Amino acid sequence: MEGVEGTAGDLTVRTSRGVVRAREVVLGTNGYTGAATPWHRRRVIPVGSYIIATEPLGEERVRELFPTMRMIADTKRVLYYFRPSPDGTRVVFGGRASFRTRTALETAPILYEYMVGVFPQLRGVRLSHAWTGNVAFTFDRVPHMGDRDGVHYALGCNGSGVVMMSHLGHRTALKILGRTNRPSAFDGLPFETRPLYHGKPWFLPAIGAWYKLRDWIDRRSAA
């Protein structure tokens, strides 16, 4: 999609393959919101999220690390989240390994060090997979749904989107179908931007460093 014009109920969507007329358009571009929708682009901050997976370690070894086999997320500002793989044989470990745009290959060694910081007994294991993608943060740290110029949107899960964006997508669909008699608490909230922000998060490296410093201070003062 390259752009949307028109008014509520009569929209024209430009795509690389032609033009589509639509009564309803839903924008669900989250961390990939781009130049096609500049108003929304100014309101979400794309942030890379990175994951690594170890080679198979055997169920016994994984159970030693995760006695209850539960997923874990810590409470730092720059958090780690990790879990056994669904088959119980690997460790899958994620975090904000970088606040610049970097590839999964570049960030895998950083995540590896984070992982062995949590599980020193994993030093020396090999990684089989590393991947990355964007999530979308908002300036008020709250997910948003609403309408803008007749276009519905559900954006800005702040890193926890599997449940939240599914929920907001569902709520948006109910709204379009007229099958809800109560608005979502996330619908139509003021959707903030900031001066000098046009969709390229130039400030992220500085914010990331500041958050890491605050995490370090918290940890020192808790010791």
Ligand X SMILES: Cc1cc2nc3c(=O)[nH]c(=O)nc-3n(C[C@H](O)[C@H](O)[C@H](O)COP(=O)(O)OP(=O)(O)OC[C@H]3O[C@@H](n4cnc5c(N)ncnc54)[C@H](O)[C@@H]3O)c2cc1C
Are β-strands 25-27 and 151-155 bridged in parallel, bridged antiparallel, or unpaired?
Answer: parallel
Binding mask 122-141 for ligand X (x = CB under 6 A): ----------xx-x------
Of the candidate residues 22, 24, 36, 129, the single one contacting ligand X (CB under 6 A) = 36
Q: How far is the CB of 222 from ligand X (least distance, A)?
A: 25
How many residues touch ligand X (CB under 6 A)?
Answer: 21
Of the candidate residues 49, 107, 138, 172, the single one contacting ligand X (CB under 6 A) = 49
Of the candidate residues 4, 11, 25, 30, the single one contacting ligand X (CB under 6 A) = 30
Q: Do residues 134 and 31 touch, judged by C-beta distance below 8 A?
A: yes
Evaluate the CA torsion angle 13, 1, 34, 192 in order and state its sign. Answer: positive
Q: How far is the CB of 123 from ligand X (least distance, A)?
A: 23
160 contributes a contact to ligand X by CB under 6 A = yes
Nearer to ligand X, 36 or 207 (CB): 36
Of the candidate residues 161, 184, 191, 204, the single one contacting ligand X (CB under 6 A) = 161
Query: Which tokens is 122 given?
Result: 């994993």
Q: Quick one: CA torsion of 135, 75, 202, 107, rounded to 10 degrees?
A: -70
Cα-based distances in Å from 74 to 6, 71, 174? 45, 10, 34
32 contributes a contact to ligand X by CB under 6 A = yes
54 contributes a contact to ligand X by CB under 6 A = no
Binding mask 75-114 for ligand X (x = CB under 6 A): ------x------------x--------------------
Binding site for ligand X (CB under 6 A): 1, 28-32, 34, 36, 49, 51, 81, 94, 132-133, 135, 157, 160-163, 165
